[in-house]
Amino acid sequence: MVNSNLENLTEELERDGCVFFRNFFPPTIIEKAILEVNEYYDLYKPKANTAGGPAFMEWKNPAGEKTLDVMLDLYGKCPALDTIFEKVLTDPTSSGILQILAGNIKLRGYNIQRFTGAYDPPPAIGPAPMNHEWHRDARGEINIAIMLTDCEKPENGATALIKGTHKFPYCPRKNCLFGPPYNFGKGLSFFLKNNFFNRLLAKKTLKNATGAYGKKGDVYIFLNDTWHGRQPNLHGNKGMRLMIGCFPNDIPYPDIVKPVSGEILNTLPPTFQKVLRPQPLNTGNRTLMDKIILSQTPPKLLSLFYWARLERKFADLISLEVKLFYSFYTKNMQRVKSKSVRLLSKAAQKKG
Ligand SMILES: [Fe+2]
């Protein structure tokens, strides 16, 4: 008999690029994990990123205050957290979805995001500015998120998502002019204010923008091809969530992923261990991910996507030319200045 819940959730994931599992964990289990994570934070944050120390990452607001701590690769550091993830990997519905979506998976990251509660507004320019700008990650990547605290309303740092955008032809970070940091800060902000097709595209696509809202113990899975970002945090939310990045194991990682040591692996629950060890490779185009990737096509000439991308390419070209000219001009001005100073001092010496 077909599990109709699994069927419905798979349909939702295929349609929206994300799917939610409500009340997946009882609050008591989550609270145990929170205690462990907080203990880990207090103990290891002072040693963060020192030689051989734990890896942390920080985000800051425009005033330079820390808004978010990311504790990276917590494998084996918080047993209650590991048990929670094991449950996602073994529960018939969530593991069923992962199997349909990606076959055998491999992990890229196992991170906690912990908000400080500092005011974190969105950038002020562009037709669709967003904290951690709208983007896609590497093709084929999947994110499994476990909410350790409530995040039920907008403007509390939820994962920002635009449903259905996994079917779009490209990544907005690389192809649009939606907001800063334009081209990792290399583009001219003039083009974020002055663009026609990108404004239209933003208006059209943002109609379906939402956030991964939910309660402590909810789980959501999204395809990283779904345009996503992070919502502003304007009301002091100090929430936490566990974010696990993974791939179908036949798709290569986009970067180097350090293997988890055997010593740590042995402390993990069995299915968690399994997804960190080599497994038989998925073969053929049989997963939902294969189907989605195959369905993505380049933008057609008459589509808004095509013209928005062309507008971005034009902006990139002009930005590059202006920056090259500026750097050439400043370098030469510096040279002329030094030469003039040398000549003037020589003339002064002669006079003297
Ligand atoms: Fe991302």
List of long-range contacts for 44-48, beta carbons under 8 Å, 24+ apart: 44/71, 45/69
DSSP helix/strand/coil, 246 = strand
Question: What does the domain layout of the chain look like in residue ranges?
Answer: 4-299
pTM: predicted TM-score of the whole model, two decimal places: 0.91
Instruction: For residue 329, report the distance from its CA to the centre of ligand 1, in Å.
Output: 38
**What is the Cα–Cα distance from 132 to 154, expressed in whole angstroms?**
15
Distance 127 CA to ligand 1 centre (A): 20
* Ranges in the chain, pLDDT < 50: 1-2
Give all strands (DSSP E) within 52-174, no chain letters.
56-60, 66-71, 105-115, 131-135, 142-147, 159-162
Distance 143 CA to ligand 1 centre (A): 8
pLDDT value at residue 3: 66
CATH architecture of the domain covering 4-299:
Sandwich (2.60)
> What spacing in Å lies between the alpha carbon of 136 and ligand 1's midpoint?
6
CA 135 / ligand 1 centre spacing (Å): 6
Query: How far apart are the CA of 112 and the centre of ligand 1, in A?
Result: 14
Q: Mean pLDDT across the chain, nearest whole number?
A: 95
Instruction: Locate 54 and state its tokens.
Output: 């734990």
> Ligand 1 mean position to 51 CA, how many Å?
27
Cβ contacts of 264 within 8 Å, gap of 6 or more: 75, 76
Please say whether the beta carbons of 169 and 297 come within 8 A.
yes
| The pLDDT value given to residue 177 | 98
Q: Rounded to the nearest whole angstrom, what is the distance from the C-alpha of residue 224 to the centroid of ligand 1?
A: 6
